[in-house]
Chain A
Amino acid sequence: MMVAIIAVLVSSNMTEESAYKRAYERQKVAREKAEQLLETRSRELYESNTVLSKYNKELITQKAIAESAVKAKSEFLATMSHELRTPMNGVVGMVDLLSVTELDVDQQKMLEVVNASAQSLLAIINDILDFSKIDAGMLNIEIVDMGLREVLDEAVQIIEANALLKGVKLLSYVDPGIVYYQQGDPTRVRQILINLGGNAIKFSEPGKEVLIRADKVVSDAGYSRIRFSVIDHGIGISKAAQSGLFDEFTQADTSTTRQFGGTGLGLAISKKMTQLMGGEIGVISETGKGSTFWFELPLADSNKGLEKDKADDLSGLHVLVASSSESYREVCQSYLRHENAEVEVTMGIDECLQFFKNAEDTFGSESIIVIPDLDDYAKVTSLRKNFIDAGLMPYPRFVVGNNRQHKDQDHILEGIEEVTMMDTSPMRRSALINAVAIAAGRASPEIHHDDDDLMERVQAPTAEEALNQGKLILLAEDNLTNQLVIHKQLNALGYQCEIANNGKEGFDMWKAKPYCMLLSDCHMPIWDGFQLTDAIRKDEKSTGKRAPIVAITANALHGEAERCLAAGMDDYMAKPVAMKVLKQTLVKWMGKGSTLGQTEVDSSLEVAVQVEAPSQANGDDDEDSTCPIDERMLKDMFGDDEDTFKEILQSFIGPSEAIIADLMAAHGVLSATEIKAHAHKLKSSSRSIGSNRMADICAALEAAGGQSNWGLIDEELPKLEPEYQKVKSYIDSL
């Protein structure tokens, strides 16, 4: 029995042991399977990683390609901006100058066409550049303190000329409840306003009004939502056309492109800019009744308050606004009420007498009638007579809108004591308040001066005189045409300058004489404008003085302006520099130009007539003409001053000899590239002094150099020196 039990136990022990063994084997197999599975997964993972990293590499390569394309695009834009604006500088600048010379009626008309064409070309260039900039994500929005009054005034000032030309009345209105500066981008807001305002004028009939207004619609905890509206009473836009209006290259009706011109980019640019500023844009319009284009921007309030003129307070005054226009009534009423005047309105001048008769008790004393948009000044004199007859004089007094379209009527109201004229082209708040204050005897008429007549010709001092007055300007500019344009513009404005051809030369000149300010191109050989500025600023550290430095840049891209300021410059002007901008900038940094001989007729204009070149009579249209210089062309460009004329020609000699020597040297070492480069330089300066034959030879050389066409180079190069000698002896004979 016992043995049997042991046997069973042993056998069960044996069974247990073999069971463990089998279990062990199973575990081992399971482990191995798991290991294999893991290896398979690892291999799959490796393979998908390989694929991913291959794609990743491809993506990195593609990204680099895309980035370099974007970079190339922005560089292209910068170059285009420069390249397009530089020649426009020449065109616009010369047209400006030409317009103040003596021209007959036909010439004036032709010049107006040239000017209008140049301006519209410039506008198109700007549109395209802006659009490309936005497209490339290169348009930056800056956040600075922005006064809405200034922004609207500036916008209105720019489109005013068009409004005047077209006979459209232009009004601007800024909600007087806006008492702080806003933080935003004044340049872009102004640009949109100019865009919308320009359109409004374009689509308005003569005699209609265009109102540009800014209203605060919401104000909350340091933020305001400002709604800008441009309201016209023009042709209007159908509902169907409104939908795609803000898309690029779209106009309400394709036929409008031909009738009204434009790239069709303006609204698309405005929309994109509005969006970049976090706002919205839209239009409310009805065919035949006009359009209201609006955009709303959320703008932070600056802690800077608007300056408040003490004379602005009109409390105690009774003002009657007489106008048939709702816009004028509303704008005047709102501005005047905000300055605490008691304001009533009538539908026109004809209702004024009746109004005063009815309201004699409350409206009799110290009352002023504002007539902002009067077409016929004679109505004022007859109204005044009626008032006298009715025994209402010496009050009321009249504030009459002095629209420049009615300048011929000015004499009607001259010398009438009770009448104060108010500039209403365009209608501005300051002009209204000021005129009412003057009429009420609360402000002096002398305080407002018309500074707009910028084109008044004044005699420029000589360099020596300017230096003695501390008003000699240094101009650093490498491009001959630009040198001449700006020099002439400065002279025309009563300033004098000396010219450095590059930054290094500029610095040497700056050290040698006490110039009062520097106008500097940004891109010049040897030292550019930034290096020049840097050198001057460093040098000034020892003297403690700081002279104004203003950049003249053809590169209109946003970064350039910032770069100028960052480099230590004080201001910048974009080429082409309009006379107006140049004058404003100069007045800002160095005060008014010379007043010497301000009353004299510009003597250079007379000289211009005398500078009929001796060979003119020989007929320079003749191809065989021996005269190496196209004098008529030269005179067209620079010919209103004999000294300048000679100076320009003489300044051609030295550099040209150097370039010819360079060309010969390049030919000696068989460098086609250098021949091309030197020929290019000489070509443009030859062309600008009217030496067309030299320019043609250079053009041929430039082309031949570009193609390494030595046969042509050998043919053309020998012609250059003899032609140059002809030019030189002509210049020497002057």
Chain B
Amino acid sequence: MKGIVFTTFNDMVEQEIGIETWDAILDSVNPESKGVYTAVEDFPDEELFAMISDLSEKTGTPIVELVTAFGQYLFHTFAIKHGVFVDDKSNFLDFLKSIDEVIHKEVEKLYPNPNLPSLHWEQHDENSLELYYSSPRKLCHLADGLIKGAAQKYKTKYTMEHSPCMHDGSDHCCFSIKQYD
């Protein structure tokens, strides 16, 4: 997984909870990388998963909730670091549609073999969008959080159904998004 996910997770824990908790997580998880993360390297998925479940234990927050919250946080980090992709799109749904075609393409330019999730969309009317997500990592809840973050950024209200879900045995997840004013 890309290092930026790890450094953002680090930032989130430090900012939202405190540097001591981050330290404590590293002590209990004891990752192979020793917690020395940079945005430009790759790190094993397991380290992130272990840290999230440790954080869940320490805070008593369910993992799904944590992951979704992290997704939201992650979006804001992206929006700050790579604002151009957000600025390029004028609305929420257009932005969602550009993820696979524009953002993932740019990521691929920078990092060979970035193991990106597959993300396709179908649009039946101008206010709704179906996003199909699939990845061996099954991080659909992270995606959920990212979508939330995006909606905040575009100041858009929306409802979303998440069905089917890979966690229920499907080979993909479907997010049915409806935006309203």
A residues neighboring B (CB under 8 Å): 31-32, 35-36, 38-39, 42-43, 46
CB pair B109 A32 closer than 8 Å: no
CB pair B39 A35 closer than 8 Å: yes
Nearest A residue to B82 via CB reads A39
B170 at interface, CB cutoff 8 A: no
Given the known inter-chain contacts A35-B38, A35-B39, please indicate yes or no for A43 contacting B81, CB distance below 8 A: no
CB pair A46 B38 closer than 8 Å: no
Instruction: State the Cβ distance, A53 to closest chain B Cβ, in Å.
Output: 13
Instruction: State the Cβ distance, A49 to closest chain B Cβ, in Å.
Output: 9
Give the distance in Å from the alpha carbon of A480 to the alpha carbon of B106 in the complex: 71
Contacts of B39 in A (CB 8 A): 31-32, 35, 39
Complex interface bits, B133-157 against A, C-beta within 8 A gives 1, otherwise 0: 0000000000000000000000000
Complex interface bits, B90-113 against A, C-beta within 8 A gives 1, otherwise 0: 000000000000000010011100
CB pair B110 A42 closer than 8 Å: yes
Instruction: State the Cβ distance, B113 to closest chain A Cβ, in Å.
Output: 14
Q: What is the total of A-B residue contacts with beta carbons within 8 Å?
A: 20
Give the distance in Å from the alpha carbon of A36 to the alpha carbon of B81 in the complex: 9
Give the distance in Å from the alpha carbon of A46 to the alpha carbon of B39 in the complex: 18
Complex interface bits, B31-58 against A, C-beta within 8 A gives 1, otherwise 0: 0000000111000000000000000000
Give the distance in Å from the alpha carbon of A42 to the alpha carbon of B111 in the complex: 8
CB-defined A-B contacts under 8 Å, sample of 19: A31-B38, A31-B39, A32-B39, A35-B38, A35-B39, A35-B40, A36-B81, A38-B40, A39-B39, A39-B40, A39-B110, A42-B40, A42-B109, A42-B110, A42-B111, A43-B106, A43-B110, A46-B109, A46-B110
Instruction: State the Cβ distance, A22 to closest chain B Cβ, in Å.
Output: 13
Contacts of B81 in A (CB 8 A): 36
Instruction: State the Cβ distance, B43 to closest chain A Cβ, in Å.
Output: 14
Contacts of A31 in B (CB 8 A): 38-39
Instruction: State the Cβ distance, B13 to closest chain A Cβ, in Å.
Output: 14
Instruction: State the Cβ distance, B6 to closest chain A Cβ, in Å.
Output: 12
Contacts of A43 in B (CB 8 A): 106, 109-110
Q: A36-B81, A43-B109 are known; give 18 further A-B pairs, CB within 8 A.
A: A31-B38, A31-B39, A32-B39, A35-B38, A35-B39, A35-B40, A38-B40, A39-B39, A39-B40, A39-B110, A42-B40, A42-B109, A42-B110, A42-B111, A43-B106, A43-B110, A46-B109, A46-B110
Give the distance in Å from the alpha carbon of A699 to the alpha carbon of B88 in the complex: 72
Give the distance in Å from the alpha carbon of A187 to the alpha carbon of B111 in the complex: 61
Nearest B residue to A40 via CB reads B110
Contacts of B106 in A (CB 8 A): 43
Interface centre among A32, A38, A39 (most CB of B within 10 A): A39
Instruction: State the Cβ distance, B103 to closest chain A Cβ, in Å.
Output: 13
Instruction: State the Cβ distance, B66 to closest chain A Cβ, in Å.
Output: 23
Instruction: State the Cβ distance, B19 to closest chain A Cβ, in Å.
Output: 8
Instruction: State the Cβ distance, A613 to closest chain B Cβ, in Å.
Output: 86
Give the distance in Å from the alpha carbon of A31 to the alpha carbon of B81 in the complex: 13
Contacts of A38 in B (CB 8 A): 40
Give the distance in Å from the alpha carbon of A549 to the alpha carbon of B111 in the complex: 66
Instruction: State the Cβ distance, A676 to closest chain B Cβ, in Å.
Output: 55
Contacts of A42 in B (CB 8 A): 40, 109-111
Give the distance in Å from the alpha carbon of A31 to the alpha carbon of B39 in the complex: 9
Instruction: State the Cβ distance, A227 to closest chain B Cβ, in Å.
Output: 63
Instruction: State the Cβ distance, A42 to closest chain B Cβ, in Å.
Output: 5
Instruction: State the Cβ distance, B35 to closest chain A Cβ, in Å.
Output: 13
Instruction: State the Cβ distance, A33 to closest chain B Cβ, in Å.
Output: 11
Contacts of B109 in A (CB 8 A): 42-43, 46
B17-33 residues at the A interface, CB under 8 angstroms: none
Instruction: State the Cβ distance, B174 to closest chain A Cβ, in Å.
Output: 32
Give the distance in Å from the alpha carbon of A478 to the alpha carbon of B110 in the complex: 66
Contacts of B40 in A (CB 8 A): 35, 38-39, 42
Instruction: State the Cβ distance, A402 to closest chain B Cβ, in Å.
Output: 87
Interface centre among A31, A32, A35 (most CB of B within 10 A): A35
Instruction: State the Cβ distance, B76 to closest chain A Cβ, in Å.
Output: 15
